[in-house]
Structure 1
Amino acid sequence: MRVKSAETRATADHPAAVSPGLRERRRLQTRAEITDAALRLFAEGGVASTTVDDIAAAAGVSARTFFRYFATKEEAALPVHQDFNEAIAAGLPSVDPLGDVRDEVDRLYALTVLPYTDNDSPSAQRMLQVSQLIRKEPSLRSAQVRQTVERTEDLMAALSAKFGPERADQMELRLAIDISGAVARAALDTWVGLLEAGKAADLAEIYGQARAFAR
């Protein structure tokens, strides 16, 4: 990372001075700064006219550092989908291999909406900003679709291994993932639409209604 030299010196002088927690916070901060720069530039001038170099310069990092965090400029504006992946990955160890496949997948996807249940949180505000841009920018919508497809395939493989071949019927597992993903997306889209219209919106309540309807 770009703070490597500073961290290396601090660790050499004081081995306990830099903890993994600090390094992770710095990583997340750098990623957030790149995303904030991308969102701001995209909102001001559009995706097509904004380059990776523009984003890197606005974030105060090099293009090389940019590519340590994101593969494309579009991905830099979609951190919420990386957050989805990380939430699902964090929840995978808690999946009960003997549990009901539909229920376990449903609980796994419920983790993806938790960061946005506080409307005033930075995560929720960023979700609103990203959603507004996606509606205006076809390239961001395409990137979102690609990420969703990749996440589905990765999750299929992970859950197939978790449940084992004797319980992981591929069609049922795929349907469980698609249904739970659609419920999460519908709840988030409804929540975003209400907030944009200046109306009260409780994501936890909306998501609970969506889950109940899907069941």
Structure 2
Amino acid sequence: MSARTAELRAIKPAGQGLRERRRQQTRAEITDAALELFAQGSVAATTVDDIASAAGVSPRTFFRYFASKEEAALPVHQEFNAALADGLPAVDPGSDLRREVNGLYGLMVRPYLDNDSPAAQRMLQVSRLIRKEPALRAAMVRQNLERTEEVQQALAARLGPERTDPLELRLAIDIASVVVRASLDTWASQLEAGGPADLAAIYRRALEFAK
């Protein structure tokens, strides 16, 4: 098991202590600064020093939270990882593989079901920037590939060797990931076009089509 997979499996829901709340606040402030600067200009024209200054932190503090300026604008990567890590212990090794993987990946959609929530509004902001910025699209692709590898290793350990056909497991993960991504993209496009968008209904339709 890789170090990154161990990290994925070890993620726990955020605590409510003062120190943890401050960490979350600092992370959010850095992300807000990155998103605002990228929206005003571009990723290429914005430096880590610019983001750190706008967030009121030092560049050294920035790198405690994010490995790059692109990562700072993609907080959903960490949110997705946390959702998957929280759901891993509930995966039933004795149940249908596709159903279990779909249930696990469905946790990634939950924070955005309320269109007016801060999480949903942040996701829309990120979606707009990803379409505008090739650097962010490339970073997102890298993150998705990393997540797929990490989840495959974590699920293989959870399910055990007798249930771990590498091809079937990889296909189940890829299909579940595409369903989530297509659902979120469709939802974001509908909202940005000014129409109604029900993410839960869109996700159910996508799951049904992917059967």
TM-score by structure 1 length? 0.90
Q: Distance in 1 between matches of 2:16 and 2:60?
A: 23
Question: In the alignment, which residue of structure 2 is the partner of 1:27?
Answer: 23
Question: In the alignment, which residue of structure 1 is the partner of 2:209?
Answer: 213
Q: Distance in 1 between matches of 2:118 and 2:61?
A: 23
Q: Distance in 2 between matches of 1:186 and 1:45?
A: 28
Question: In the alignment, which residue of structure 1 is the partner of 2:160?
Answer: 164
Q: CA RMSD in A?
A: 1.0
Q: Distance in 2 between matches of 1:83 and 1:20?
A: 17
Which of 114, 125, 150 is the matching residue for 2:146? 150
Letter in 2 for 1:191: W
> Are 1:37 and 2:39 matched, yes or no?
no
> Are 1:61 and 2:75 matched, yes or no?
no
Any unmatched runs of 5+ in structure 1? 1-18
Alignment size in residue pairs:
197
Q: Distance in 2 between matches of 1:199 and 1:101?
A: 36
> Are 1:136 and 2:123 matched, yes or no?
no
1 or 2 for the larger relative contact order (CA 8 Å, sep ≥6)? Answer: 2
Question: In the alignment, which residue of structure 2 is the partner of 1:6?
Answer: none
Q: Distance in 1 between matches of 2:66 and 2:27?
A: 9
Matched position secondary structure for 2:93: coil
Q: Distance in 2 between matches of 1:124 and 1:80?
A: 11
Q: Distance in 2 between matches of 1:21 and 1:182?
A: 36
| Aligned pairs for 1:121-132 within 5 A | 121-132=117-128
Question: In the alignment, which residue of structure 2 is the partner of 1:82?
Answer: 78
TM-score by structure 2 length? 0.91
Matched position secondary structure for 1:166: helix
Q: CA deviation at 1:23?
A: 2.1
Question: Identity across aligned pairs (percent)?
Answer: 71
Matched position secondary structure for 2:150: helix
**More displaced 10-residue stretch of structure 1: 19-28 or 57-66:** 19-28
> Are 1:118 and 2:114 matched, yes or no?
yes
Question: In the alignment, which residue of structure 2 is the partner of 1:73?
Answer: 69
Q: CA deviation at 1:22?
A: 2.5
Letter in 2 for 1:183: V
Q: Distance in 2 between matches of 1:20 and 1:197?
A: 38
Question: In the alignment, which residue of structure 2 is the partner of 1:200?
Answer: 196
Q: CA deviation at 1:20?
A: 5.2
Q: Distance in 1 between matches of 2:178 and 2:17?
A: 34
Q: Distance in 2 between matches of 1:202 and 1:167?
A: 35
Compare CA radii of gyration and give the structure with the larger one. Answer: 1
Q: Distance in 2 between matches of 1:134 and 1:122?
A: 18
Letter in 1 for 2:114: D
